[in-house]
């Protein structure tokens, strides 16, 4: 099966972005979409911090992290004012789009419906040509998600694996002893 174009985003408002964003406007970059609800425990404990780690780690790469607030329950509790407070308190710096409400009688918002997401958190990987390449509901482990991102970045001209030795962070043993 060939990957096909990712559905367009239907967003009523963007936070952390001066102008509306679109897949067309991000062509040439790998796009990591993190669809979440601000009162979804798994999003708060896992998905949001992971999206922040991705944004920091690939800050210099042709990659964009995009949040999508896909509220399908407790709508009254997760409106715009609440989301603004959430984004502020959790220091979310990447753009966050508010998914457009569904048509009458559909609790699921429009982009969430178009992507056939099963719930939150959902992570969508879109390649530099705008094609949806992977979509995962629930916790996606860093190692596996990192590998998928690395593969998509490698399809670009730019080399993704630096050749120079790097220094990792944290603990290790060297000639001066061990740090815990």
CA-to-CA separations, 55 to 32, 83, 116, 118, 159, in angstroms, rounded: 9, 20, 25, 24, 18
Structure tokens at 83: 């989301």
CB of 110 to its own copies, least distance (A): 17
Instruction: Quote the least distance from Cβ 63 to its own copies, whole Å.
Output: 10
**Cβ nearer to its own copies, comparing 19 with 170:** 170
Among 20, 28, 84, 129, binds its own copies (CB under 8 A): 84
Residue 105 makes contact with its own copies by CB under 8 A: no
- CA separation for the pair 177, 180 (Å, rounded): 10
Q: Verify binding: residue 114, its own copies, rule CB under 8 A.
A: no
Q: Which of 17, 21, 114, 133 binds its own copies (CB under 8 A)?
A: 133
Stretch that binds its own copies, among 7-15, 16-24, 98-106, 168-176 (CB under 8 A): 168-176
Of 8, 93, 129, 137, the residue at the interface with its own copies (CB under 8 A) is 137
- Token digits of residue 85: 């407070």
Task: Burial-class residue 99 by CB neighbours within 10 Å (0-12, 13-18, 19+).
Answer: buried
**Vertex 38, ends 75 and 76: CA angle to 5°?**
20
Given 21, 39, 100, 114, the residue binding its own copies (CB under 8 A): 39
Write phi, then psi, for 176 (nearest 5 degrees). -95, 0
Q: Does 43 bind its own copies (CB under 8 A)?
A: yes
């Amino acid at each position: 099966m060939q990957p096909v174009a990712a559905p367009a985003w239907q967003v009523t408002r963007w936070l952390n972005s001066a102008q509306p964003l679109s897949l067309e406007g991000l062509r040439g970059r790998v796009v990591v979409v993190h669809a979440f609800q601000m009162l979804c425990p798994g999003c708060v404990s896992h998905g949001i911090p992971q999206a922040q780690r991705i944004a920091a780690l690939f800050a210099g790469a042709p990659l964009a992290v995009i949040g999508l607030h896909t509220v399908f329950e407790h709508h009254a509790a997760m409106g715009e004012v609440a989301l603004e407070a959430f984004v502020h308190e959790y220091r979310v710096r990447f753009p966050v789009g508010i998914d457009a409400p569904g048509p009458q009688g559909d609790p699921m918002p429009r982009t969430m419906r178009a992507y056939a997401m099963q719930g939150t958190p959902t992570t969508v990987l879109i390649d530099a040509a705008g094609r949806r390449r992977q979509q995962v509901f629930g916790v996606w482990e860093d190692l596996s998600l990192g590998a998928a991102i690395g593969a998509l970045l490698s399809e670009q001209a730019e080399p993704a694996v630096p050749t120079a030795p790097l220094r990792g962070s944290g603990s290790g043993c060297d000639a001066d002893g061990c740090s815990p």
